[in-house]
Amino acid sequence: MSTQTTAPDSTGQTRIAQRRTYLMCRPEYFTVSYTINPWMEPANPTDTELAVRQWQALYDTYISLGHEVHLIDPIEGLPDMVYTANGGFIIDGVAYGAKFRYAERQPEGPAFMEWFAANGFTVADPEAVNEGEGDFLLAGDVILAGTGFRSTDDSHRELERVFGKDVVSLTLTDPRFYHLDTALSVLDPVQGENGVERANIAYLPGAFDEASRRLLEERFPDAIHVSDDDGAVFGLNSSSDGYNVIISPRAKGFERQLRERGYNPVMVDLSELLLGGGGIKCCTLELRR
């Protein structure tokens, strides 16, 4: 169901906000007690109350924009459970579960799969290591799939079998951007030729190897190229409903680029959760029925 429409931008495209359904997890047990990505420094103090307040601002933003948000209960001892995007990948009511690379996060996989099953989704148990929508992004008729740090190439082939969609593998090379959703954002679908649905995206070219950059340039010639400065503040770890794009307030260049393309940037600061290596998209798993 559309909720907002804008006038056509300079390219003739009209941005339409679509009502989305998300899964989130309150960061009641958030802390940084181990290191599994370059952003995590256990020696630096974290403020759980601040993390909860910032997370609440994101939740309230989704509700105010007309989206539906479901919650999974946090589990003590699993501080990264707040990053629900890593918990699975869902299309048409089928939930492909996560199988985490690091032992610290592995108990999250079954917890998310139990939630999916209890809430009416068909669960596809994973065989290959993957970290859900952190590395898998639906872009029109294709799935963009990241590898290089967390999810394996085998998971890409498994993803193709589960959903029967074309999977485009992209290799990440910068450890700061260890999940695809930290280096690439899907902004909205576009109806292309012969009824094939494409997508508008934004990405950080320097996060990918040369072959992946070529693929992205061929498939998405009109993509927004984001600067390293904006990438480094998790500007691309954003959430879009097709018109409203929830981004970090520190991503000033990306904000301008979005406005030029007819999107409505909405600023939400998740600076405390960035200490764990996650931002807006990390805290947001889309539930597609």
- pLDDT tens across 139-194, in order? 999 999 999 999 999 999 999 999 999 999 999 999 999 999 999 999 998 755 55
pTM: 0.95
Q: How far is CA 197 from CA 108, 111, 189, 202, 203, in A?
A: 33, 33, 6, 17, 19
The residues facing 169 across adjacent strands are 145
Asked, for residue 2, whether it belongs to a domain, the answer is no
SS3 assignment, position 254: helix
Q: How would residue 198 be classed by pLDDT, with cut points 50, 70 and 90?
A: confident
206-255 pLDDT per residue, tens: 999 999 999 999 999 999 999 999 999 999 999 999 999 999 999 999 99
Split at pLDDT 50, 70, 90, the class of 2 is: very low
- Residue 10 inside a domain? The answer is no
Q: Which amino acid would we find at residue 35? A: T
pLDDT of the residue at 14: 85
Q: Among residues of the chain, what percentage have pLDDT more than 90?
A: 92
| 220 belongs to a structural domain | yes
> Contact, 256 vs 58, CB < 8 A?
no
Asked if residue 215 belongs to a domain, the reply is: yes
Task: Answer yes or no: is pLDDT of 115 > 80.
Answer: yes
Does residue 161 belong to any structural domain of this protein? yes
Domain membership flag for residue 193: yes
Domain that holds residue 274: 18-286
4 in a structural domain: no
CATH of the domain at 158: 3.75.10.10
The verdict on residue 272 lying in a domain is yes
pLDDT over 60 at 82, yes or no: yes
Q: Which residues does the annotation mark as catalytic?
A: 179, 282
Query: Cβ–Cβ contacts within 10 Å for residue 97, how many?
Result: 22
Please state the domain count of the chain: 1
Q: In what order do the strands lie in the sheet containing 68-71?
A: 68-71, 21-24, 285-286
pLDDT of 153 reads: 97
pLDDT band at residue 4 under the 50/70/90 scheme? low
CA-derived radius of gyration, the chain: 17
Q: How confident is the model at residue 1 (pLDDT cuts 50, 70, 90)?
A: very low
pLDDT band at 13 (very low <50, low <70, confident <90, very high): confident
